[in-house]
Amino acid sequence: MKRGKCLMCVCSGVVVCLVAAATALPKVARADSTVTISGNSYYEVYGAPVGDYSLTTHGHTLLGTSNGGTTFDVSHFGRFILYIPSGSGRILFDAIGLDDHWVESQPGPEYAHYTSNLNPTNCSWTQCGDWYIEGPPDGKTIENGVGRDAYYGFSTLGATAMTVYLQGASTGTHDVALTAFSASPTSVTRGQTVTFTGTVKNNGNVSESGVKFTMTTNGQQLRPPVALPTLTAGQQVSGSLKMKVPLTASKGEYLITGTLSTVTGETNTANNSMTVKVVVK
> From CA 219, how far away is CA 280, in angstroms rounded?
18
* Bridging pattern class, strands 162-169 and 125-134: antiparallel
Sorted by where each begins, the domain ranges of the chain are 7-169, 176-280
Query: What CATH class does 176-280 carry?
Result: mainly beta
Mean residue pLDDT of the chain comes to 54
For range 209-236, the mean pLDDT? 93
* Predicted structure pTM score: 0.44
Residue 52 to residue 131: CA distance in whole angstroms:
20
Confidence of residue 223 (pLDDT cuts 50, 70, 90): very high
Tell me, what's the pLDDT at 265? 80
Q: Nearest to residue 128, comparing CAs of 164, 91, 169? A: 169
- Positive or negative: CA dihedral 61, 67, 68, 72: positive
User: Most confidently modeled of 5-19, 60-74, 108-122, 219-233?
Assistant: 219-233
Residue type (1 letter), 105? S
In the predicted structure, residue 226 carries a pLDDT above the cut 60: yes
pLDDT at 101 over 60: no
Q: CA-to-CA distance for 90 and 83, rounded, in angstroms? A: 9
